[in-house]
Structure 1
Amino acid sequence: MTTETSEGLRAWLLTETPHSRWQARMGSFYQGWLTLRGNPMAMFGIAILVLLLLLAAFAPLIAPHDPFAQDLSNRLKPLGTAGHMLGTDSLGRDILSRLIHGSRITLYIVALVALIAPIAGLLVGTVSGYLGGWVDLVLMRVTDIFLAFPRLVLALAFVAALGAGIENAVLAISLTAWPPYARIARAETLTIRNSDYISAVRLQGAGPLRIITKHIWPLCISSLIVRVTLDMAGIILAAAGLGFLGLGAQPPSPEWGAMISEGRRFILDHWWVATMPGLAIFTVSLAFNLLGDGLRDVLDPKDGSQ
């Protein structure tokens, strides 16, 4: 792209008098990207997450060894061992290869929970806030019941009832993660439902379903996106906790929590077996928190000027 074309596109995106809804939307996205790009910590978080996506996508090509291959003659090798940069575990499996393949499991859990929990919370919160009355009372009391229990304890109860496994762990985490999104969506709906904008739409003949889905949901999404991003660290820790207790991904899956559980037996003499997956969880959780903080500056209208 030439300099003239680049400058012309930039001017088209940043114009104060857009000629179409598409141009206005693209300009808004570009201004948000400029704000996000100006936050070095958020960009650092994005870089880590992009690296994680690349590792997950090309894990079979990047991993130096088969993550399931056992070699008891090479068990518990230290960091820097030839052919095993991060050492080996108690069964002689390469820790680096297991971390790389374990990123797929982490992204799988995060993606599914990020799809299920916010959508469920958005539906409950907007319906509760818009309809009010006994519907609001019942839905919010149910939400309060879920909020009364610590997330991991409630997830353990659900997994114990559903059975161990990744899919059941995802479902259990989703069932414990939706209440905060419902609260946020309800609060947003309460501030919107009596506005002149919604009254005008109602006078035009729009029903509750259309008002909620077409006019209230779009205004709630930005707050939910920020909350989802900031909650990713908690979701990863909950998944790792279930894996640590043997209720998440089952052996020999290279799930990071399960790797820590295995390595805790050797923590004093062979600390790297548990420390390396722990550092992986810490790094990815930090990346999501940094990105969420940057997105809050972009998407939250109350903080967007900061």
Structure 2
Amino acid sequence: MMDSTLSKPESLHSWLTSDRPLSRRQAALGRAYGGCRTFARNRLAMLGLFIVLALVLVAIFADLLAPYSAYIGDLRTTRLLPPSWAHWMGTDDQGRDILSRLIHGSRITLFVVVLVAVLAAPIGLLVGTVAGYAGGLVDATLMRITDIFLAFPRLILALAFVAALGPGIENAVIAIAITSWPPYARMARAETLTIRQTDYIAAVQLLGASPWRIVLRHIMPLCVSSVIVRVTLDMAGIILTAAGLGFLGLGAQPPMPEWGAMIANGRLYVLDQWWVAAAPGAAIFVVSLAFNLLGDGLRDALDPKAAK
């Protein structure tokens, strides 16, 4: 327990940065505090976090922030208007305000990113830890399946699955998730091969813990931080894959304001009305860059070998 006399910030700092924690709670809080300090010192990571948080807020309050409808335009008076005070990013070929469509499209982007991460990361973590701990035939079988998925480029494999499942944002999410888990499995397996040789795991085995309990309760938690970093770094690739499917007409279907589909719609006017494709392209670039910066910062903050 934290001593009641530690009321000053200096005392709290000393308690959190102690080299000899007196409890598991103090050790966990100390690691979290050190990671936050390392992350906060990385200005680019803070910039990435700010952009990602702004994206989340824009998606939540899209209905309030969008100045116009994202689905309805006026072909007679507002078709292909250049950026102006009335339409900050111009309008598209249907007379719809591009800024409003970008704002509402942020919801689709977050939906894809979050759902793919929720589906792919646990699958890869489970496959990798089971393969690394079990070894033998189980390891060989699971890793050969992983190698099959890794043998194909992600976008090509996603195209194949979407072609089989049919176009649509839900099927696109499933296809991207199916093609995203192998790198997480490889990473989790590599860490498990090291962890399973430690005295900590040997002690748990001597206590009679079952293999599933060892994997789920003692190995997987140690691999989570690395998987979180890898997922964050892969967010840009997920966004680009989703945009690629939308560009090809296999992702979100019209009139949904998906950024890749907006670029596909604007490619017909890229020479004269450049803003139709440039605006969603810039949005994809900024958000992808933000996730990469955030991932780099998390990698430094969660690295147990880095000095805090």
TM-score where L is the length of structure 2: 0.95
Distance in structure 2 (CA, Å) of the matches to 1:219 and 1:18: 19
Distance in structure 2 (CA, Å) of the matches to 1:167 and 1:30: 38
How much has 1:79 moved relative to structure 2?
1.2
Match of 2:91 among 79, 85, 88: 88
Q: What is aligned with 2:307?
A: 305
**Residues 65 and 28 of structure 1, relative CA distance in 2, 3 Å threshold:** same
**Residues 36 and 128 of structure 1, relative CA distance in 2, 3 Å threshold:** same
Q: What is aligned with 1:200?
A: 203
How much has 1:70 moved relative to structure 2?
1.4
How much has 1:305 moved relative to structure 2?
3.1
Match of 1:265 among 268, 282, 289: 268
Q: What is aligned with 2:71?
A: 68
Distance in structure 2 (CA, Å) of the matches to 1:29 and 1:305: 13
2:148 aligned with 1:145, yes or no? yes
Counterpart secondary structure, 1:251:
coil
- 1:133 alignment partner AA: G
CA deviation profile, 1:11-41 (whole Å, cap 9, x unmatched):
4433444343223212211111110000000
- 1:74 alignment partner AA: T
Distance in structure 2 (CA, Å) of the matches to 1:268 and 1:289: 30
How much has 1:5 moved relative to structure 2?
5.1
- 2:307 alignment partner AA: S
Match of 1:218 among 206, 217, 221: 221
How much has 1:253 moved relative to structure 2?
0.5
Match of 1:289 among 289, 292, 302: 292
2:36 aligned with 1:33, yes or no? yes
Distance in structure 2 (CA, Å) of the matches to 1:68 and 1:278: 19
Distance in structure 2 (CA, Å) of the matches to 1:6 and 1:272: 51
Q: How does 1:75-114 map to 2 (within 5 A)?
A: 75-80=79-84, 82-114=85-117
CA deviation profile, 1:26-77 (whole Å, cap 9, x unmatched):
2211111110000000001001111101100111011111111111121100
- 1:305 alignment partner AA: A
Percent sequence identity is: 66
Q: What is aligned with 1:233?
A: 236
Distance in structure 2 (CA, Å) of the matches to 1:249 and 1:173: 13
Structure 2 gap ranges (5+): 1-6
Distance in structure 2 (CA, Å) of the matches to 1:287 and 1:39: 13
Distance in structure 2 (CA, Å) of the matches to 1:16 and 1:301: 14
How much has 1:6 moved relative to structure 2?
4.3
How much has 1:224 moved relative to structure 2?
0.6
Counterpart secondary structure, 2:170:
helix
Number of equivalent positions? 301
Q: What is aligned with 1:122?
A: 125
Counterpart secondary structure, 1:74:
coil
Question: Which shows bigger deviation, 10-19 or 214-223?
Answer: 10-19
Distance in structure 2 (CA, Å) of the matches to 1:176 and 1:63: 34
Structure 1 contact 297–305 (Cα < 8 Å) conserved: no
2:135 aligned with 1:132, yes or no? yes
CA deviation profile, 1:119-174 (whole Å, cap 9, x unmatched):
10011111111111111111111111000001000000000101111111010000
